[in-house]
Structure 1
Amino acid sequence: MSFVFAALALVGLALTVNAGRPLSARGRGGPRWVPALFTGELAPFHAAAQLGLAAGFSAVGWAGGWAGWAGLGATALSVAGLAAIQARAARAKGVMEQAASAVLGAPVRLPRLRLRRLLWPHPGRPAAVELAPGLSYGPGPAQVADRYRLRGQTSPAPALVQMHGGGWTGGKRGWQGRPLMHHLARAGWVVFDVEYGLSPRATFPGQLIDAKRVIAWVRANAAEHGVDPSFIAVTGGSAGGHLAALAALTGGDPAYQPGFEEADTSVQACVPVYGVHDLLAADGRPKWPYLATHVLKVTPEQDPEAWRRASPARCARPDRPPFLVVHGGADSLVSPDESRRLVAALRAAGGPPVGHAELPGATHGFDSIHSVRGERFVAGTAAVLEGLRARHRAGSEAKERPGGA
């Protein structure tokens, strides 16, 4: 049985090495990012499991001989690596504070982590939050959204629109960004988790049109949903981060509002998370071939303007809302360079402030579970959105007073 122990210990060590490797050594994409996500974000659980395994095998005498010693050595190395991964995760606090401070122009200090939250990583819906599933915001079967809000809430509240990821061809609402959605709903926000048309059935910019359609729908039906129509924020991860950024950069653009050209689709804040912000590689070709064959259904040579307008980093403008751009520093599926390029373009174009948080050691999907990095992301994002909302309200009240501008 010592060979079984050694094999299990080596599997644990392999998971730790995969999660702790620097981005340059990981290669791009592939299946390795999924185990890296759950090992890296849940490092204390993995360490506890591996130590428990070693203790159990040792207690029954199944950790002897060279195989047993090899297993114990692998366990020791793995636990040490997991401790280093967790230490890196602790740096997320300072990174998020700095990014939030950049957006608000004032120092931001995040609250202490809640141990109880970290002990239950699964982001279940809080009892205080009610869910209204499958609300239609358009005529198509994919144009539906789930609404989260505090039970018994009656006063108008700010809204958050969440766009899921999935490479514009997959994914669904309800599996991404839930810790942030639940946190804001408990804080009194009204949150909409959005489904949209997917390629190849949909052709881009159909996905962006759906994002803008849901913003217009939320604003037009604000009274029904308990929303303050003057403050709507948009967020999303991966392809959803791309759509969130483009929605924020194309407010009121009639080209992306067929049939609702006059609707107000502006947003007051944007938080793209590990988004794809330039669909073209450095050589001018699509970053992934399927973008031309299944998503845009046209090549860059055939319609270069369509590809430019589909890339947030290539259409930055000063008349936009504040941005908080977040990415994992170890994301091997969507490179952190995507967010760096967007931030550089937004700042070069001028306009409202831009915060940039590149979380050390985080990979794709870190915002989907309760972890140290995930909780720091939620707290920092909430601080930014609440701060922007407070300033917006103060400005509106000042204008309403006699003599206000």
Structure 2
Amino acid sequence: MKKLSRFLSFLSAFFGLLTLIRSPKGRAGGVIWLPKLWAGAWAPFLAIAGGLGALIGFIRGDREAAVSGLFGAFAGIKHTVRVTKRQDAFELAFGKDWGQRIDPDLWKRLSRPYQLIQPSKPFGLYQRDINIGDAAPLYCDLWLPPSEVKRTRLAIIYLHGGLWQAADKDFLSRPLFSRLVNQGHVVMDLAYSLAPEADMKKMLNDVKHSIIWMKANAARLDIDPERIVLMGGAGGGQLALLAAYSSNIPSFQPKRVDADTSIRGVISIAGITDMDAYFHEYGEANPGQPESSSTITEDMLPYIHDKTWLDKFLTRLRAFPAYRYSNIPGGALLLVNLFGGTLNEVPKKYRLYSPLTYVDSCCPPTLQIFGDNDFVIDASQGRKLHHALQTVNVPSVYIELPDTVHAFDQYIGVSRRIAPAAQTATNDIEQFLAMMV
């Protein structure tokens, strides 16, 4: 019993401490990123474990176990309460009566803000690997509401994260999609082109093309072509914002296509908004990033791994294509290759692909969700965009989750149904989408 008490107490205290520690910037933040991510996700259960360990410690007179358990319980409860505390962001964006504008039947289907364990939802109808490309293949998956769920006729185009060079459609996104289709929405999960084969223009073209395809197939999918929402995380969030704010700009329209690419709303989870600033942020995590192309050495250039069995296995997975080019976890030349030069050399390119550049009163309603301790993409990226949108009176919902790190909405080895930050984000996403119906 003593060993059990100490195990529960010390485990709870260790991970509880991680929820309180701020992640440093740069590579140092990456060292504790995954343990800190798990600590936040498991915080409610670590609090329970700490409380149980402390109780057993008190009964058995084990002071160390008792104190450690109490600390772990305190830290777990504190994190859970802070992350799930409701903010007034929707009221500020849409007015005090915003909730009354949501259809009562749809409101009943929204997830509760927080539960110890969210109930699972049935998956809807799933159509895999649909080619929506014309000149070149462009694949997506479609998720449709279950037959018994009343449709909202709203569609979502989802753009995965991975800093434009990694991950894929159907990558840790099913728990979110299952909840969205049970609201009555249709979800397209797009496998847009990735670096280094594709540059930013090609990626944006893929997103615009998906909007055009969705509108052209609106009747078949039983959606309203005027109710399409873009949603993405990290690099996908930047693409979602950029496509939303640059709708129908001729230079950004797909070639040989005369179609409307405007959308109803946009959701960004830790999306990059200012590429100028991000060039410097990225340099902190990748010190080898050059200030000038003239300083690029041969060993910095991408090269293909194709010798060992592990190389050959990973290169077949689209989820990790950057491995082929020695670019995981980032690569010093990621941004330089994306934009054709450094910030000093092609500053106009960096501004051209910054969502902030296109902020005006015509921008669609926007939801941004950030963790305030994101070492990959600083929350200041979201704050700047939020302020700019408020200045031109565009409805802007900005959520910043305390004590929360990058990728808080997607987990490996942890269920999204128990993570407080993920539950809060899901509820905010569902509410925003309900406002777009």
From the superposition, tell whether residues 114 and 248 of structure 1 become closer, same or farther in structure 2 (CA, over 3 Å). Answer: closer
In 1, the alpha carbon distance for the partners of 2:162 and 2:279 equals 25
Bigger mean CA offset, 236-245 vs 7-16: 7-16
In the alignment, the residues of structure 1 paired with residue 169 and residue 278 of structure 2 have an alpha-carbon distance, to the nearest angstrom, of 32
- Residue 22 of structure 2 corresponds to residue 18 of structure 1: no
Where do 1:161-200 residues align within 5 Å?
A: 161-176=157-172, 178-200=174-196
The alignment status of 1:362 with 2:404, answered yes or no, reads: yes
Q: CA deviation at 1:46?
A: 2.1
Which residue, 72, 76, 79 being the options, matches 1:78?
72
Is 1:135 equivalent to 2:135 in the alignment?
Answer: no
In structure 1, give the amino acid aligned to 2:70: A
Residue 240 (structure 1) shift: 1.3
Deviation at 1:192, TM superposition (A): 1.0
- Which stretch shifts more, 282-291 or 193-202? 282-291
Distance 1:83 1:175, change over 3 A: same
Q: Give the conservation status (yes or no) of the 8 Å contact 1:129–1:186.
A: yes
Q: Tell me what 2:381 maps to.
A: 338
Aligned equivalent of 1:253: 249
TM-score (norm 1): 0.80
Q: Which runs of 5+ in 2 are unaligned?
A: 100-106, 290-332, 411-415
**2:425 is the alignment partner of 1:377:** yes
Range 254-263 or range 220-229, more displaced:
254-263
Change (3 A) 1:119 1:257: same
Contact 2:364 2:394 in 1 (8 A): yes
Shift, 1:159, TM fit: 0.5
- CA distance in 2 between counterparts of 1:106 and 1:183 reads 26
What secondary structure does 2:129 align onto? strand
Does the C-alpha gap of structure 1 residues 295 and 49 become closer, same or farther in structure 2, counting only changes over 3 Å? Answer: farther
Q: Which stretch shifts more, 169-178 or 221-230?
A: 169-178
8 Å Cα contact 2:232-2:239 kept in structure 1: yes
Cα shift at 1:336: 0.9
1:280-295 → structure 2 map (5 Å cutoff): 280-281=276-277, 287=283, 289=289, 290-295=333-338
Given the alignment, which residue of 90, 94, 102 partners 2:92?
102
Q: CA deviation at 1:140?
A: 7.9
Q: Which amino acid aligns with 2:434?
A: E
Q: TM-score by structure 2 length?
A: 0.75
C-alpha RMSD over aligned residues: 3.4
Letter in 2 for 1:380: D
Displacement of 1:41: 2.7
Task: Tell me, yes or no, if the aligned pair for 1:104 and 1:387 is still in contact at 8 Å.
Answer: no
1:212 pairs with 2:208? yes
User: What letter is aligned with 1:268?
Assistant: R
Cα-to-partner distance string for 1:92-139 (whole Å, 9 max, x where unaligned): x2x1xx222233233346989759964258xx6x32512112222215
- The 3 A distance-change label for structure 1 pair 57 and 199 is farther
Output the CA distance in 2 between the equivalents of 1:186 and 1:154: 9
CA distance in 2, matches of 1:56, 1:156: 51
Deviations for 1:45-88, whole angstroms, at most 9, x for unmatched residues?
A: 223345566778999xxx89xxx654443333222211211221
Please state how far the C-alpha of 1:248 moved relative to its aligned partner: 0.6
The one-letter amino acid paired with 1:43 is A
Partner residue, 1:232: 228
Q: Give SS of 1:224's match.
A: helix
In 2, the alpha carbon distance for the partners of 1:206 and 1:326 equals 26
Question: C-alpha distance in 2, partners of 1:292/1:380?
Answer: 31
Cα distance in 2 for partners of 1:239, 1:224 equals 30
In structure 1, list runs of 5 or more residues that go unmatched: 390-405
Shift of 1:300: 2.1
CA contact (8 A) 1:28 1:333 kept: no
Task: From the superposition, tell whether residues 25 and 146 of structure 1 become closer, same or farther in structure 2 (CA, over 3 Å).
Answer: closer
